[in-house]
Structure formats: C-alpha cells, structure tokens
Structure 1
Amino acid sequence: MKPWIAIATAIDAVNETIGRAVLWLVLAVTLISAANALMRYGFGMSSNAWLEIQWYLFGAIFLLAAGYTLKHNGHVRIDVIYGRLSQRTRAWIDLLGALLFLLPLCGLMVWLAWPGFVDSVQSGEISPDAGGLIRWPVRLLIPLGFALLALQGVAEVIKRIAFLRGQGKLPHETPMEEV
C-alpha cells in the first residue's frame, strides 16, 4: 500500500501547487474586470478581448481548482446526513461515489472535450466577436480541469482504501470553510 500512498501524495502535491497558483488568477480577473469597467464607463472605450479574457480566467479558476477543492473537501455534500455517519461509513460513501460517479464522469468529460480542443487548434478557431481571442486555450481547460479532478479522485480513492485497511486516517474531516 505504501507505493500507492506515495502516488496519492504526489497527486495531492500537484493539485495543491496548481490550486495555489490558480488563486492568483482571482486577483488577475478582478483587476482586469475593474480596469475594463473603468475604461468603458470612464473613457467610453471597450474591448471584447478584455471581456473574453475575464471569462477565460473564470473558466480557468473553476476548472483548474476543482482537484484542489476536492483535496480540501470543499465540494458540496449533504453534511446533515454524512456528518452523522461513522468514519468507516463515510469512507465507503466517498470510495463508492468516486468509483461510480466521479471518475467515470471525469473520464467522459475528458473524452468528449478533447476532440473540441484538437479541432480548435487545427482550425485556428477565433472568437466571432470583433477583437475576440483565440479559442483553443479555453477549450484546453475543460479536459485539463477534469483530468486534474480525476487524478485527485484517484488519490482520494487510494486514501479511503488505506483507511479502510487500517493503514491511514481519513483525510480532511473538516470541510474547507470550517477550518
């Protein structure tokens, strides 16, 4: 089990690093949004590129931080029920949820989104709006974000199996917002 735990630890480190880097995009999108509003309302100037970069960055924040959020137990669940269950039962619920729902969904999303990304690169797709941006970077975010989420799902499965085998403790007993 130790090699598997090492893999889970490495996946945790990858998502932790990416999640912390993505936090800076929140500042970037806020500054871009403020500057865009100032230019539009203060000087009567606007650009579709600035609007598009805002939603590209929002997409990056949402998609690239999903694995980080899972690592820190920040996804929504019904804690009224889940919180009353034993650690062992919670571990089984997490394990089965990841194997039956999370990992298949992530695999499906990567599989479905990848061709759109490849087509966008090959065709040189550009936003149809005047001054719009190239589209392949934002199309890459979808398979990349779901791949990172799937990797973290694998790490969480490994940790739950280790716990159920008596070789570890349940990670993240307290959700992010309660820490």
Structure 2
Amino acid sequence: MTLLLKLSQLIDWLNERVGKGAFWLVLLMTVISAGNATVRFIFNYSSNGLLEIQWYLFAAVFILCSPYTLQKNEHVRIDVVSGKLSPRSQAVIDIIGTLFFLLPMVIAVLWLSLPLVADSIKINEMSANAGGLIRWPVKILLPIGFTLLALQGISELIKRVAFLAGLIADPNSKAAGPTPEEELAAAIAAAKAKEAK
C-alpha cells in the first residue's frame, strides 16, 4: 500500500502543477478577449482566429483543471446527503462512484476521442471559419485532460482505500481555515474599513 500511496502523491503532484499552470491561461484569455474587444471597438475589426483562441483557452482551462478540482474536493457533490454521512460512508460512496461512474466515463471518452484526434492531426484540420485556427491542438486536449482525470480518479481511489484501512487521515476533510469566499469577504471588509478611516 505504501507504493500505491507514493503513486497517489506523484499523481497529485502532477495534476496540481498542471492545474496551477492552467490558471495562467485565464489571464491570457482575458488579455486576448480585452484586446479583441478594444480593436473591434476602436477599429471596427475582428478576427475569427482571436475569437477561436479564446474558446480554445477556455476549453484548456476547463479540461486541464478538472483533475485538480477533483483532487481538491471542489467538484460538485450532493452535500445535503453526503454531509450527513460519516467519513467512512463518504469514502465508500467515493469508491463506488469512482469505480462505476468516473472511471468508466473517462475510459469511454478516451476511447471515442482518440480516433477523432488522430484524424484531425492526420488531415491538419482547419476551422471552417475564415481566418480560423487549426483544430487538432484543441482536440488533443481531450485525451490529455481525460488521461489526467483518470489518473486523479485512481489517486483518489487509493486514498479512500488507504483511509478505510486506517493508513491515512480522511481525504474528504477540508483544511481548517477560511474558505476563498470568506477570505474575499474579509478583504472587502478590510478595504471598506480602510476607506472609512
């Protein structure tokens, strides 16, 4: 089990690096979007390539950050139900969900996306829009992102089994301290208090 926990830590490390790296794509997407809007407003000119790169970047952020979201336990849950269960029951539900829902879905998407990506690369598929971009770079995100999601699912499965075996602490527990929303509210309150002085 120690070897599996080391594998889990390696997967967590990889997905954390990829997820945090993908955060920078949000900034790039925002700059491109603002630049495109400014050029369209001032010069009455727009580019399909600039519009497409925005949704390429959005797709990259969404797909590449999904494993990181799963790792940090920030994915969608039915907290009304799971919040009332014991940590052990939550771990069992996570194991069942990973084995029977997450991993089969990820494998199906990978299986179905690989031929599409291979064909897109083979023909150097281009956008149908004038001035559009090549399509394979955004399509290749599917197998990359879903492979990372499968790996994270395996990591979460290892952690849940280790928790049930009493080898690690509850992987569902949230770190003590304020949530990002609470931090933002405190920062806004501090800024208002500073302005009032």
Specify if TM > 0.5. Answer: yes
What does residue 161 of structure 1 align with?
161
Give the whole-Å Cα distance in 1 for the aligned partners of 2:49 and 2:74: 32
For residues 92 and 78 of structure 1, do their structure 2 counterparts lie closer, same or farther at Cα, with a shift above 3 Å needed? same
Q: Letter of the aligned partner of 2:149 in structure 1?
A: L
Question: How many residues end up aligned between the 2 structures?
Answer: 178
TM-score (norm 2): 0.88
Residue 41 of structure 1 corresponds to 41
d(CA) in 1 for partners of 2:41 and 2:74? 37
- Aligned residue number for residue 179 of structure 2: 178
Alignment of 1:13-28 (within 5 A): 13-28=13-28
| C-alpha RMSD over aligned residues | 1.2
Write the deviation string for residues 113-140 of structure 1: whole angstroms up to 9, x where unpaired. 1111000000110001111100000000
Contact 2:163 2:171 in 1 (8 A): no
CA distance in 2, matches of 1:163, 1:35: 49
Match of 2:145 in 1: 145
Q: Structure 2 unaligned segments of length 5 or more: list them.
A: 181-197
Instruction: Give the Cα–Cα distance (whole angstroms) in 2 for the partners of residues 92 and 122 of structure 1.
Output: 44
Q: Does 1:89 align with 2:112?
A: no
Gaps of 5+ in 1: none
In the other structure, the counterpart of 2:188 is none
Measured after TM superposition, the shift of residue 41 of structure 1 is 1.4
Give yes or no for contact 2:117–2:140 (8 Å, CA) kept in 1. yes
Cα-to-partner distance string for 1:47-81 (whole Å, 9 max, x where unaligned) = 00000000000000000110000000111111011
Alpha-carbon distance in 1 for matches of 2:84, 2:170: 15
Q: Which protein is bigger by CA-based radius of gyration?
A: 2
* Partner residue in 2 for 1:100: 100
Letter in 1 for 2:62: F
Q: Does the Cα contact within 8 Å between 2:26 and 2:61 map onto a contact in 1?
A: yes
